[in-house]
Amino acid sequence: MVTERFMGRARRLLPDLSGTRLQAARSIGIAVLVAAVLYYPIGMAITHSIDDDVAFQPPAAMAPEGGSRAVAVAAALIQREIDENRWVANDPFFLPPAVLDNMPNYQQGIISALARFAFELTDQIGRTRGTSQTDKDLQEAAGQLQYAGNVWIFDLSTSFAPTTTSEARYRKAAKSLLSYNKRLADGKAVFERRADNLLATLDRFALDMGASSANLDRHIAEHAGDLIDTRADDVFYGIKGQSYAYYLIIRELGLDYANVLGERELANAWAKMLESLRHTAELSPMVVINGSPDAQAMPSHLAAQGFYLLRARTKLREITNILLK
């Protein structure tokens, strides 16, 4: 009798248990589906950062007395983008930032300007006049910053074996820049503070800006007024990142070459050039629109960016002309 009562009670409970399991499985399935749907949008929102703080300064530990302020800000900028903001240009498809395009273009624009600066340090500023010997730290930094920004652990275009990631290369560049700056502060490295070294460096920067202006002009000419222009924001944020890095580097070069600027009475021209570069770096539309330059309603953010960039380059040329005298 007891056994029959127990079995009867068990049979009555079984349907309830089956229903509970089904409900739990359904809830888990819905939760997984919601998580899958929100994975990319939430991950993108958390990661996305266009850090264009024009007041950015290198930490005191990176800028020893007797070192270069421009070198310090270059190293600090690399570390900020790699370790604080996180490098996203090489994220694989299964990570949410892989879907982003503004942030990776902005970061790679920054690196392009830093690569140019590192090359000029190696070729012009960090080498004794009349010699062919280059500084080992500067040469290392320049080489590492030439590395493509979209290389992850695996680069199947070259090999199936694991490779060095972009951020690992850039960390090495920052480390080499800091090593150079420490040796410079200790009097064991060269930083030529002559007008002709500054002139050559600014000339190269102006050439870079000219290439960016030409890229803007070409894109505006070919796509202005297009109903859908998926490349407009790529061009815009790449140049924004480059202009931002150049703004910081040139601002600090003004301190490194304060004596030259004072002797040539360039303080006012220098400030106006920096102001134009700052405007270029700070442009931040909610949506980048490549409207026709004469449009009544739809703006052309690329044209606005090109205006400030051209003005900065013009001011830069005025400065180099004075340095030539």
Q: What are phi and psi of 236, to 5 degrees?
A: -60, -50
Q: What is the mean pLDDT of residues 138-162?
A: 85
Q: What is the structure's pLDDT at 305?
A: 94
Number of domains in the chain: 2
Contact 140, 172 (CB under 8 A): yes
Q: What is the mean pLDDT of residues 73-92?
A: 93
Last residue of a domain, one of 30, 47, 64: 47
Q: Do 229 and 308 fall within a single domain?
A: yes
Q: Do 34 and 177 fall within a single domain?
A: no
Q: Do 9 and 95 fall within a single domain?
A: no
Q: Which of 85-99, 116-130, 250-264, 297-311 has the highest mean pLDDT?
A: 250-264
Q: Do 90 and 232 fall within a single domain?
A: yes
Q: Do 15 and 64 fall within a single domain?
A: no
User: Residue 3: which pLDDT band, with cuts at 50, 70 and 90?
Assistant: low
Q: What is the structure's pLDDT at 13?
A: 47
User: Residue 96: which pLDDT band, with cuts at 50, 70 and 90?
Assistant: confident
Give the CA count within 13 Å in the CB-facing half-sphere of 108: 20
Q: Do 180 and 144 fall within a single domain?
A: yes
Domain extent for 150: 48-324
Count of H helices and E strands in the chain?
10, 0
User: Residue 129: which pLDDT band, with cuts at 50, 70 and 90?
Assistant: confident
Q: Do 18 and 88 fall within a single domain?
A: no
Q: Which of 6-10, 29-33, 114-118 has the highest mean pLDDT?
A: 114-118
pLDDT of residue 160 exceeding 50, the answer is yes
Q: Do 149 and 21 fall within a single domain?
A: no
* Nearest Cα residue to 250 out of 232, 237, 269, 233: 269
Contact 146, 114 (CB under 8 A): no
